[in-house]
Amino acid sequence: MRIAVCCGRAERRFRATCASRLCVTLAPLVVMTRANDSRFTLRRTLLAFIAGFGATLLAHQPIIALLHAMGIAPNAPYGMKPVPPFGVPSVVSLAFWGGLWGIIMIAALYPLRRRPAWWIAALFFGAFLPTLVAWFVAAPLKGQPMAAGWKPAGMAIGLIVNGGWGIGTAVLFRLMNRQQ
């Protein structure tokens, strides 16, 4: 039985390939399921979210704990202060955003998954992209100074912690996606 669930232009463009696999249009991605397909599948999207969420709890926050114990980071890890709009603990909110960033990172780096460059790319992606968004988008929205007030120590904390998150996400994704 052949199943093809495609829409509009995607259907015309993928009609030949849809005959042997299920096609689903999701936002900007065309997700195709096939065991040996190099495209990003729905299963991999879920694993990427779990990897990013877990890396926040297992890499990001322990690095903050270490920096806090050394007197470098001002905030303690695993913050339980409720954050708006739902009042969830800040660490849960942070982990949720880590999961979303995990999807973006794994989708962007997926073609490198079998190369040594995977680890370097994960480090740099984690260190720079989430940090730049935190500095120039999230901080102003929260009424905080951009780029940690341009203080080098504060700026370094974001790069170090988020770089560790990137490596943690890559490790967890690799462990969960072992069939590769």
Cβ-contact 113, 180 below 8 angstroms: yes
Q: Please tell me the predicted confidence (pLDDT) of residue 62.
A: 97
Tell me: the pLDDT tens digits for 28-87?
A: 333 333 444 556 789 999 999 999 999 999 999 999 999 999 999 999 999 999 998 899
pLDDT number for residue 37: 52
Q: Residue 166: pLDDT above 80?
A: yes
For residue 142, pLDDT over 50 is answered with yes
Query: Which tokens is 110 given?
Result: 């997926």
How far is the C-alpha of 31 from the C-alpha of 44, rounded, in Å?
10
Residue 84 tokens, joined: 């708006």
User: CA-CA distance, 171 to 51, in Å (whole number)?
Assistant: 8
Contact present, 90 and 80 (Cβ < 8 Å) = yes
Beta-bridge partners for 82: 89
| Domains of the chain by residue range | 1-39, 41-176
Q: Considering only 3-12, 81-90, 170-179, which range has the smallest mean pLDDT?
A: 3-12
User: Which DSSP category does 24 fall into?
Assistant: E
pLDDT band at 95 (very low <50, low <70, confident <90, very high): very high
Instruction: Tell me the CA end-to-end span of the chain in Å, nearest whole number.
Output: 27
